[in-house]
A and B are shown apart, each in its own frame.
Chain A
Amino acid sequence: MASATIERPKPERRWFGGRQGAQRRFVAAVLSPALAYMAVFLLLPVAWALLLAFFDFSPRRTGSPFLGLGLDNPFVGVEHFRRMFDFSSTAPLEVRQFHTALKVTLLFAFIVVPLNLAITLPLAAMIESVRGRWKVLYRTVFFLPVLTSAVSVAIIWGFVLHPQRGLLNGVISRVTGRFTATAWTTDPDLMFLGVPIALFAIIVAYLWQDIGYNLVIFIAALQAIPDSVKDAARVDGATAWQTFRYITLPLLKPTILLASVLTMISAFQVFDLFQVMTNGGPDDQTRALSLDIYESAFRYQRMGWAAAVSVVLFLLVFTISVVQSRFLRANWEY
């Protein structure tokens, strides 16, 4: 009897046959290894970092089989975060260094971003109004430092600012007629408006390396503005400055916001320049957060504490990104 039943084809063989099945298998074959990889190298580290922030963990001590946590690496709850608010002079060294680092990083970011925009925006407008070969030449000159490794930038600027052999002191002696071996990056008493000169030295090197990046972004945005708009303004008798102020600038607003936020986010994470140019000195005056995290984790092996500080850094960056999306929600069309 069974042989009499005719096998009806299934309405849709979803996973294992036919065209659609082949597509699904392809997607599965691509996604499953990728997701497994991302789970190990992206998701696990983030979860692990969050976990570490609640333990007094050092890789030197033995912990339980589970990620080495527990036993000699005890759970401390929110202790790390509570200690971050200990502003007394008896606070442990790492807490005071964290406060210094937070201050240095905020100072650095809030000085760098406005300076960067104040330089790149007019410079981009200037380069954009130049023609042909000259434009490429200027853009290349300002873009070369972007391509240079931060380590080289730090070494080159360390040499430019060297007390005895540096270019800056050489030029100053040429102008004043007297040689003074000013130690720009190592003298803790050099201050300007309460900001250490050593920090300014890093700011200058960072700006030198970084302006080419925003420059390229702004030049592209300027090119996207139709010539007809600017020509119309010119025919109406607007000066170059008026055209820039009332036509170009408003149209660039979204790009300016995006560039300022991206610059801010990367300024919070600068490590190479701080480590190579000053290594946090003099007297921790240039100890940035990223350097503080690196030193705590890998020099002093206080990885639990370092993870807690890195969570704070993440929250800072995250807050800025959220503020960014708020600002960028408004759209400008032309």
Chain B
Amino acid sequence: MATTIERRAEEAEARVAGREPRLPGERRHVLSRAALYTVLSILGVIAAVPFVWMILASFKSGSELRQIPPTFWPQDPTLDNYTTILNDPELPLALIYRNSLFVAVTVVVATLFTSSLLGYVFAKYEFRGRQPLFWFVLATMMIPAQVTMIPAYLILVQLGLLNNLWGLVLPAFVDAFGIFLMRQFMLSIPDDEISSARVDGASEWRIYRSIVLPQLKPALATLGMLTFMFHWNAYLWPLIVLTEQSKRTIPIIQTWYATQHTAQLNLVMAASVLMVIPVLIVFALSQRWVVRGLTMTGTK
């Protein structure tokens, strides 16, 4: 009882002084905040250390890397690993980057087009079988890639697309997750503008292009980022489809290079830095789009 009265008095005093009233536990607050930041920082360092370890190793010489026990900071930092890699004719980085870019960008463009169009149709048009069709699209998301990859491979053999970058692009033209994301986003867009454009005599395609697409921009950015990331990092399907070295994408070449140089991890790490860090920076800068996409739907 006494404490309550004391607290009331304190609150009143604080208000007079123009401060925010203190809540119980406020005194321990500073201490617990310090503990909080300490714990988070320690965990953050642990989370970042594997990256740091990779980057530091890429600046170590081969002989330093063979030291036992291993060193953490490079004793004699060198760029030799990078020059070796950039001059390695077996590792045409520009070509591999181009392959990966071609696949990721083409899939992004195709997916954004088909997802926005189909999401729009599912959200804003009445037609028979709409609900079951939409459920069918959703259901396809539940099928593991391991089930479809064997027949999909056999289909590519028939189409003559094995060992062809189009073999990665073609099966990814329509994305169930993308349709779902776009439809959810479309539902929040009011119908008024669409129907008034119709009254003004705009064609359906024109409505899609000039009214729907501009409003979908944030959702398109999110889906574009997620799709790009997924196909840039994809491993299993490119591993099956691409067997020729000059056609391969970054993750495949990265593992190939690692298995070729198990005794020269300094080179492997430098190669990994060159293949990972540039896009990681791009991804990190645009992470708010990715984060939004993940939280918007709660789906992987």
Contact = CB atoms under 8 A, between A and B. Distances in A.
Contacts of A289: 146
Contacts of A276: 235, 255, 258
A144 interface: yes
B125 to A, nearest CB: 5
Given A127-B40, A155-B272, A156-B272, A26 B204 contact: yes
B70 interface: yes
Given A49-B147, A154-B255, A272-B251, 10 more contacts: A31-B133, A41-B174, A42-B148, A52-B151, A137-B44, A147-B283, A165-B70, A234-B24, A313-B147, A314-B144
A22 B125 CA distance: 12
Interface string A269-289: 101100110000000000001
Interface in B48-65: 48-51, 53-54, 57, 65
Interface string A145-181: 1011111101111111010111101100110000101
Nearest to A178: B69
22 contacts: A26-B205, A34-B118, A38-B174, A41-B173, A42-B140, A42-B176, A45-B150, A52-B150, A130-B36, A144-B48, A147-B229, A152-B251, A155-B254, A159-B54, A216-B295, A234-B23, A237-B24, A262-B300, A265-B300, A268-B144, A310-B146, A314-B144
Nearest to A296: B150
Contacts of A143: 287, 291
Interface string A189-216: 0000000000000000000100001001
B146 A141 contact: no
Interface of A is mostly: helix
Contact of B290 (A59, A147, A306): A147
B240 interface: yes
Contact of A149 (B152, B157, B251, B294): B251
B173 A258 contact: no
B251 A151 contact: yes
Contacts of B24: 234, 237
A6 interface: no
A30 B117 contact: yes
A317 interface: yes
With most chain B CB atoms within 10 A of its CB, the pick from A24, A147, A166, A266 is: A147
A238 B222 CA distance: 39
A150 B283 contact: no
A217 B294 contact: yes
B298 to A, nearest CB: 6
A314 B147 contact: yes
Contacts of A166: 70
Interface of A: 19, 22-27, 30-31, 34-35, 37-38, 40-42, 44-46, 48-49, 52, 59, 67-68, 123, 126-127, 129-130, 134, 137-145, 147-152, 154-160, 162, 164-167, 169-170, 173-174, 179, 181, 208, 213, 216-217, 220, 234-235, 237, 239-240, 255, 258-259, 262, 265-266, 268-269, 271-272, 275-276, 289-290, 293-294, 297-298, 303, 306-307, 310-311, 313-314, 317-318, 321
A126 B36 contact: yes
B50 A262 contact: no
B291 A313 contact: no
A134 B121 contact: no
A152 B253 CA distance: 11
Contacts of B157: 59
Contacts of A306: 150
B268 interface: yes
Interface size class on chain B is 35 or more
B1 interface: no
B140 A38 contact: yes
Contact of A48 (B57, B133, B151, B240): B151
B276 interface: yes
B198 interface: yes
Interface of B: 23-25, 32, 36-37, 39-40, 43-44, 47-51, 53-54, 57, 65-66, 68-72, 114, 117-118, 121, 125, 127, 133, 137, 140, 142-155, 157, 170-171, 173-174, 176, 198, 203-205, 229, 232-233, 235-236, 240, 250-251, 254-255, 258, 265, 268-269, 272, 275-276, 280, 283-284, 287, 290-291, 294-295, 298-300
A46 B53 contact: no
A23 B204 contact: yes
Contacts, number: 248
Contacts of B37: 130, 134
A213 B268 CA distance: 27
Nearest to A276: B255
Nearest to B170: A41
B258 to A, nearest CB: 5
B154 A159 contact: no
A233 B203 CA distance: 56
A160 B295 contact: no
A156 B50 contact: yes
Nearest to A159: B265
Nearest to B48: A141
Contacts of B294: 213, 216-217
Nearest to B258: A155
Given A165-B70, A262-B298, A317-B142, A297 B150 contact: yes
Contact of B151 (A34, A49, A179): A49
A44 B70 contact: no
Nearest to A279: B259
Nearest to B295: A220
Contact of B50 (A129, A147, A157): A157
Contacts of A179: 68-69
Contact of B276 (A149, A237, A266): A149
Nearest to A311: B147
